[in-house]
Every structure is written in structure tokens, then in C-alpha cells.
Amino acid sequence: MRPAKALLLLSALLHGGYARPAASCEKAIYLQTNAVEGNSIVALLIGSDGVLGAGAVYPTMGKGGSRLDVMTMQPASPDALLSQSAIAVVGNNLFVINAMSNTASMFRINTSNATDLHYINSSPITGGDFPNTIAVSAKHKLVCVATTGKANGVSCATFDRNGLGTFDSLRPLGLTQSTPPTGPPNTVSQVSFTEDEEFLAVTVKADPPTNKPGFVAVYQVRGKKLAREAVRSSPADTAILFGFNQIPRTDKFIVTDPSIGAAILSLDTQSCDVTTVQPINITGQLATCWSVISPATGTAFVSDGAVNRLVEISVPKGDIVSVTDLSANGDPGLFDMVASGEFVYALSPATSAVTVVNAKSKKMVQHVTLGSLGIGAYAQGMALFEG
Ligand SMILES: *[C@@H]1O[C@H](CO)[C@@H](O)[C@H](O)[C@H]1NC(C)=O
Ligand SMILES: *[C@@H]1O[C@H](CO)[C@@H](O)[C@H](O)[C@H]1NC(C)=O
Ligand SMILES: *[C@@H]1O[C@H](CO)[C@@H](O)[C@H](O)[C@H]1NC(C)=O
């Protein structure tokens, strides 16, 4: 360092100019509007008190989409995408699917200001219809999406700082579906890499009218590529397998299932089989579909699209440890969630709202409505950047 520059730096440090961290700009949550006329990411700052602050909106250059009601064959919402993990953040990269464009888009997050996103590119998911969930491996530089329309399956692309590469040919899941799909039954719920990033798990909901069981498909990563074939399991006592999270440092997962509530599943990393360790009956549940594990409590929180409450579950044991009734805020139910520090952030698309709950005290600390930023009944997906 040249003396003049060193002096300048010293002076800045003495005057508090350089060293002060921009704490309030380093954490954010991201939602997608999933609007049919043009999808957008909504980025919201997380303040040092956990409360959400200023937001910014970024077009994804793709179109959102919605499931069709099985009776009327008209677009139905909320739960437009029928999924968990419609947005993924790895490092300072953000990825999102565009259901009716059959594309995925990539953004770079400004690490000095997490609500400042830079669009990089979009890549077509050739051969697949209605992508609804996305997972990213930093280790293998691999992005995998699942599609749940007429052409349903799993497709992957590499990525680097220049953007997303070309998606490979579809690994079919074999569902008999339409584009847009009808559901929730008989649709893909979530893709996720395991903690070691050596496996990709996909949950698929049962189709009770045709007696097709729900299943988990597990693909191995081999030589930085996703295997073409998966091992499929239909874990006992589960049916409508929905959102899931790996329980840190175990081969176990919490999965939601609106047919019972939730379950603890175990992955055998030798055979790739997935089995039920503990079914979890949640009394009074109607549509338990989303899950998150809080780093502050080490417990899971599951949300219900039709009952406005958070149910806290011990992991890996699977005991219900608390139920937080949030009905006083007027939302009909809760969808996608993320957990950061002591807080859980949960989306209610029907009321354009995000509820912030302290995971330890179980107190609601904020209920913010985001209609002015384009969040509405079609919104789905939530991801987190923590700097
Ligand atoms: C990132 O954000 C900081 C703080 O707002 C800003 O000074 C900087 O120019 C931004 N970087 C880019 C590449 O936009
Ligand atoms: C962070 O980025 C947002 C969106 O571009 C912008 O509105 C805001 O002013 C930025 N904050 C700072 C501190 O630069
Ligand atoms: C869950 O409920 C079902 C049906 O009510 C019952 O058959 C089953 O034994 C219960 N399982 C547990 C683990 O409580």
C-alpha cells in the first residue's frame, strides 16, 4: 500500500468512514409475483431487528402461471405453483422459474445491498412444461428444475458468473398432466439437493382418484452431472408429499403432507431408498404444505394454506412442541417460509402479506402487506440472502 493511500485509510478508520458495516443492507428475503403478464422478484430488506424494510421489484423476463381448478378448469389461486422452493439463492446468485415461459432466470445479488439485484440471463427448459421448483448446488455449479405440466420431469443446467447454461433433456416423472396442471394431487412439489450436494430429491404428490401413490425420487450426482435415473420410494403413511427440509447433519428430512400433517423421512445413501421414521398427525390441519427449520430453535415450523398458524415440530424426533395461532391478523393461511436468526417469515398470497414471527417467543413481530409491490394471490416462493 502506498503511504498516501495508507494515510487516507487510517484517517477514514479514525473517522469511522470505512470500517462501519452496512448491517441493515446485507440481509433480504425474495418473493416472486408469479404474474402471468410478467413475473418479477420482490426483494425486501431484513433490518437488524428482523423486521422487513424497503422493497425493490425486478422483472424476471418470463411469465408466471397458475394451476387450473380440476372442476372448473379455470386458473386457481393461491397455491398457483403447487410447490415449495420456486426461488433459490446460493452464494450471491438468485434463481427463479417462470412457469408459463418454461424458463429459469438468474440474478446476481449485490452483497453490499441485498435488495439490489442484477439480471443476468434466462435459459429455456427444453422439453418440459410448467417449471414450479428449483434447486442449486454451489459445489457442482448445477441448477435443477422440475416441471409439472404435460411434459413433466427434471432438467439441469450448469451456471457460472456469466449466467445459466443450457438445460439438459428431461428425466421424465411420468405424471399424466395438462399445461397448466390441475392439482394439488398428481403434481411435483419440490426439488432439493441434499446437504452434501451428492443427491437431488424430488417430492411428488399422490393422485388418489387413480390410486397413484405419492413418491420421492432420488437422483445421484455423478461427475458433476445428475444421473438420468432415480430411485423412487413411497414412504409408509404418506401420500400428498409436499415441501421438505433436510435436518442439518443427518440423513433425515421433515416433509409436509396435507393428508396427515407431516412426517420424518430417512434417506439411505447406499440404496437411495426413502422410508418413514415418524408420521406426524397434526390435529385440525387442512393443508400443511410448507416447512422451514429455524437456526435459532433447531426446530421445524410447518404452515397450513387453510389454517393461519405455525406448528413447531422437534427434529428429528417429530413431536409437536408448539402451535402459534395467528388468526387475529386476518390471513386465511400461510405458504412459503424462510428462517433467519430468531425469525420466521411466512407468505399469505391471498392477502398479499408476509408475517414475521419470533421463533423463540412465538410472538408475531410484523404483518406487512405487499400488494403495492405486485405480491398477490399468484405469488409463491421465498428465499433468503444473509450476506
Ligand atoms: C452495490 O451496492 C452498493 C451500496 O448501495 C453500491 O455502492 C454499489 O455501487 C453497488 N454495486 C453494484 C455493482 O451495483
Ligand atoms: C439498495 O438497492 C435498492 C434497490 O436498487 C435501492 O433502492 C437502495 O437505495 C439501495 N440502498 C443503498 C443503501 O444504496
Ligand atoms: C394418525 O392418525 C391416523 C388416523 O386418524 C391413525 O390411524 C394413526 O395411528 C395416527 N398416527 C399417529 C402416529 O398418531
Encode pLDDT of 151-197 as tens digits: 999 999 999 999 999 999 999 999 999 999 999 999 999 999 999 99
At residue 5, what is the residue type? K
Does ligand 3 lie within 6 Å of residue 279's CB atom? yes
- Is 289 inside any structural domain? yes
Pocket probe for ligand 2: among 45, 46, 113, 385, the residue whose CB has the most ligand atoms within 8 Å is 113
- % the chain with pLDDT above 90: 92
With 70 as the cut, is the pLDDT of residue 5 above it?
no
At residue 38, what is the residue type? G
With 50 as the cut, is the pLDDT of residue 294 above it?
yes
Does ligand 3 lie within 6 Å of residue 281's CB atom? yes
6 contacts: CB under 8 Å, gap ≥ 6: none
**Residue 111 CA: which ligand is closest?**
1
Digit-coded pLDDT (tens) for 34-84 = 999 999 999 999 999 999 999 999 999 999 999 999 899 999 999 999 999
With 50 as the cut, is the pLDDT of residue 10 above it?
no
**Residue 118 CA: which ligand is closest?**
1
- % the chain with pLDDT above 70: 94
Kindly report the average pLDDT of the chain as a whole number.
94
- Is 51 inside any structural domain? yes
- Residue ranges of alpha helices (H) inside 231-385 are none
What distance in angstroms lies between residue 62's CA and the mean position of ligand 2's atoms?
A: 24
* Beta pairing partners, 284: none
Domain of 190: which CATH number? 2.130.10.10
Q: Which phi and psi (to 5°) does residue 150 adopt? A: -60, -50
- Is 35 inside any structural domain? yes
CB 243 within 8 Å of CB 256: yes
Does ligand 2 lie within 6 Å of residue 25's CB atom? yes
Nearest CA to ligand 2 atom 11: 113
Number of domains into which the chain is organized: 1
Question: What is the pLDDT at residue 126?
Answer: 87
With 70 as the cut, is the pLDDT of residue 242 above it?
yes
**Residue 92 CA: which ligand is closest?**
1
Q: Quick one: average pLDDT of 119-139?
A: 97
Question: What is the pLDDT at residue 14?
Answer: 40
Nearest ligand 3 atom, CA 278: 13
pLDDT band at 25; cut points 50, 70, 90: low
- Is 187 inside any structural domain? yes
Nearest CA to ligand 2 atom 7: 56
Closest CA to 347 of 135, 79, 112: 79
Does a cis peptide bond (omega within 30 degrees of 0) precede residue 75? no
Which residues form the domain of 323? 7-386
Nearest CA to ligand 2 atom 2: 116
- Is 124 inside any structural domain? yes
- Is 105 inside any structural domain? yes
What distance in angstroms lies between residue 259's CA and the mean position of ligand 3's atoms?
A: 11
CB 186 within 8 Å of CB 177: yes
- Is 329 inside any structural domain? yes
CB 59 within 8 Å of CB 39: yes
Q: Which phi and psi (to 5°) does residue 252 adopt? A: -110, 160
Does ligand 1 lie within 6 Å of residue 113's CB atom? yes
- What spatial distance separates the first Cα and last Cα of the chain, rounded to whole Å? 27
Pocket probe for ligand 1: among 113, 115, 161, 385, the residue whose CB has the most ligand atoms within 8 Å is 113
Does ligand 1 lie within 6 Å of residue 24's CB atom? no
pLDDT band at 134; cut points 50, 70, 90: very high
With 60 as the cut, is the pLDDT of residue 7 above it?
no
Question: What is the pLDDT at residue 356?
Answer: 98
The number of beta carbons lying within 10 Å of the beta carbon of residue 170 is 18
**Residue 57 CA: which ligand is closest?**
2
The residue behind cell 420424518 is: 264
With 70 as the cut, is the pLDDT of residue 380 above it?
yes
- Is 1 inside any structural domain? no
What distance in angstroms lies between residue 107's CA and the mean position of ligand 1's atoms?
A: 15
**Residue 55 CA: which ligand is closest?**
2
Does ligand 2 lie within 6 Å of residue 115's CB atom? yes
Q: Quick one: average pLDDT of 92-101?
A: 98
Does ligand 2 lie within 6 Å of residue 113's CB atom? yes
